[in-house]
Every structure is written in structure tokens, then in C-alpha cells.
Amino acid sequence: MGILDQPMTRRFRHIVIPALAPAAFLLVAATPVEVLGCFLRGLLAIAIAMVSVIGGLILAIKGHLGRWRGEPDAHWWVLSAVILAIPPAALLVLG
């Protein structure tokens, strides 16, 4: 059985995939101005933060509804939402 035949684990789906948004945001923030320009860096940072906000809100609602229904795995959705809250918070701190 190869690695592509295995189903995605919860850790990968709820931690690694949402962690790509903060990694992309920090990559854009760490890029020198001479590479992308100030305007494009700002637009990319805002775009990543807004997508992260929308995704985080959707996942937070999904986690809240799961907790309300008594689903035992609802905390994974809340954890994903917390990870997606990092880029908007970093945008506020760095801005």
C-alpha cells in the first residue's frame, strides 16, 4: 500500500492544510520589497488574510454546530479555525 492509497489523517486535514495560510502570509511578509514591490506585497497579504478570515469563520461555525450537536470530533474544526486566525492577527500586528 503506497502513501497515495492511505486516507488523509485528521492531523493533516485539520492542522497541516490550514497551516499553509499562515506560512504563505509569513512568506509574503518576509519577501523583500525589491522582489514584489510594496503594493503587490500588501495586496497579497490582505488577500491571504481575507481568505483565512472567511475560511476560519466557516470552520468556527461548523465546529460550534458540531459541539451543539454533541459530535466528539468538533474540536478539530475549532482548532482549524484558530490556526486560520493567525494571518489576520499578524496583519493587524504588522500593519
- Does this model's pTM top 0.95? My answer is no
Task: Say yes or no to pLDDT of 95 above 80.
Answer: no
Helix then strand then coil, in percent of the chain rounded to 5, is 80, 0, 20
Joined together, the cell numbers standing for residue 43 give 495586496
C-alpha separations of 23 from 64, 66, 68, 85, 86 in Å: 26, 28, 31, 12, 10
Beta strands in the chain (DSSP E): none
pLDDT at site 6: 57
Domain boundaries, the chain: 25-94
The pLDDT confidence band at residue 1, using thresholds 50, 70 and 90, is very low
Please report which confidence band the pLDDT of residue 7 belongs to, taking 50, 70 and 90 as the band edges.
low
Asked if residues 61 and 50 have their Cβ atoms less than 8 Å apart, the reply is: no
Question: For 24-80, what is each residue's pLDDT tens digit?
Answer: 999 999 999 899 899 999 999 999 999 999 999 999 999 999 999 998 888 999 999
